[in-house]
Amino acid sequence: MKIEEIKELVDFILSKPVKEFEIEVEGLRLKLVKPKQELAAAASPEARAAVQEEDREEKSGEEIHYITAPMIGTFYRAPDPSSPPFVKEGDHVNKGDVVCIIEAMKLMNEVEADVSGVVKEVLVENAQPVEYGQKLFAIIPDND
């Protein structure tokens, strides 16, 4: 099996609500055992994404801080459609800077960075619904 094929297979298994998975092809044996939490979480696409992000974090080995949604609502990257986004990948943010808006019940709620650092990744598309606690930005915190 090629490494690409294994990666694809692992991603596929992670997306299914199965507890254990075992396969043997061409002398290669692969066994996957999911922790309980992931199993339960596999049902929602957002949670699935979160699980995969965690994996990425572990692999890269660098410390990553996530800014999460403080409420359920619609995620906006800019104050209005004609403005540039508050932040983009590679930008440096200071603690307290507004990074996005979550609209809930027709109210625009500004979300502030709870840490200073560099934006590694914006995890949600503009104008998408987000749940409470959903990861919005991956930040590499400054070293003090």
Partner 1 sequence: MIRKLLIANRGEIALRIMSSAKELGIKTVVVFSEADRGSMPVQLADEAYCIGPAKPQDSYLNMAAIMSAAEISKADAIHPGYGFLSENPRFAEVVEAEGLTFVGPSPQHIRLMGDKQRARKTMEELGVPVLPGSDGVVTRIGEARRIAEKIGYPIILKAVAGGGGRGMRIINSPAELEENFKTAQREAYLAFNSQDLYIEKYIERAHHVEVQIIGDGERVLAIGDRECSMQRRHQKIVEEAPSPFISPKTREKMLETVERAAEKLGLRSLVTFEFLVDEEENFYFIEANTRIQVEHPVTEQVTGLDLVKDQLLIASGEKLGYSREDVKTFGHAIEARINAEDPRTFTPSPGKIHFLFLPGGNGIRVDTAVFQSYEIPPFYDSMLAKLIVHGRTREEALRKLEVALLHTSIVGVKTNLPLLLSLLKSPKFKSGNYTTRFLEEEFIW
Cβ closest to partner 1, residue 44 vs residue 94: 44
Q: Which of residues 83-102 bind partner 1 (CB under 8 A)?
A: none
Q: In whole angstroms, how far apart are CA 96 and each of 8, 35, 66, 111?
A: 39, 35, 14, 9
Tell me how many degrees the CA angle 124-126-127 measures, rounded to the nearest 5.
110
141 makes contact with partner 1 (CB under 8 A): no
105 makes contact with partner 1 (CB under 8 A): yes
- Which residues have CB under 8 Å from 63's CB, separation 6+? 140, 141
Q: Which of 64, 66, 67, 73 binds partner 1 (CB under 8 A)?
A: 73
* Residues binding partner 1 (CB under 8 A): 17, 36-37, 39-41, 43-44, 47, 71-74, 104-105, 129, 131-134
